[in-house]
């Protein structure tokens, strides 16, 4: 088994002002989806949602505000799953609530280095 990170991408929508009920429904969709992965014994780390505040350190030592200053999409959060291979990890991404809103799920393998 290998570890994979799923990064959830979406485009910001400043016109979307969800009601408390819509937020609750969205949270439940995420809990149900991650619970299904967990029930298979494949959810290694439930991850976290990422905030909107950030800074980026560049190779020249400069620091810019906001991780998304020049991009039209944001990374809203991540989870870590375990799977036999990337195809199985992609299969686990099916049904992700981000997909229902036009978002996408990036699946990346996690490299482990012995002794680190």
- Assess contact for 81 and 109: CB atoms under 8 A: no
Write down the pLDDT at residue 91. Answer: 97
Domain range summary for the chain, segments of one domain joined by +: 1-12+20-50+74-116
Total Cβ atoms within 10 A of residue 56: 13
Weakest mean pLDDT among 9-13, 43-47, 108-112: 9-13
On whether the CB atoms of residues 98 and 2 are closer than 8 A, the answer is no
The model's pLDDT over 55-95, given as tens digits with 9 standing for 90+, comes to 888 889 998 876 654 556 778 889 999 999 999 999 999 99
Average pLDDT over residues 37-58: 87
Which residue is associated with the tokens 């020049």? 70
Res. 36 pLDDT band, cuts 50 70 90: very high
Residues 8 and 75: beta-carbon distance below 8 Å: yes
What does CATH list as the number for 1-12+20-50+74-116?
A: 3.30.70.1060
- This prediction has a pTM of 0.81
**Do 55 and 66 meet the contact criterion of CB atoms below 8 Å apart?**
yes
């Amino acid at each position: 088994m290998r570890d994979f990170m799923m990064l959830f991408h979406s485009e910001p929508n400043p016109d979307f002002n969800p009601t408390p009920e819509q937020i609750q429904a969205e949270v439940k969709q995420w809990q149900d989806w991650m619970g299904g992965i967990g029930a298979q014994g494949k959810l290694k780390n439930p991850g976290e949602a990422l905030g909107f505040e950030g800074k980026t350190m560049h190779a020249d030592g400069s620091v810019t505000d906001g991780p998304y200053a020049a991009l039209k999409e944001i990374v809203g959060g991540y989870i870590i799953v375990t799977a036999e291979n990337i195809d199985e990890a992609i299969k686990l991404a099916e049904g992700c609530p981000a997909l229902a809103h036009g978002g996408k799920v990036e699946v990346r393998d996690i490299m482990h280095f012995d002794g680190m």
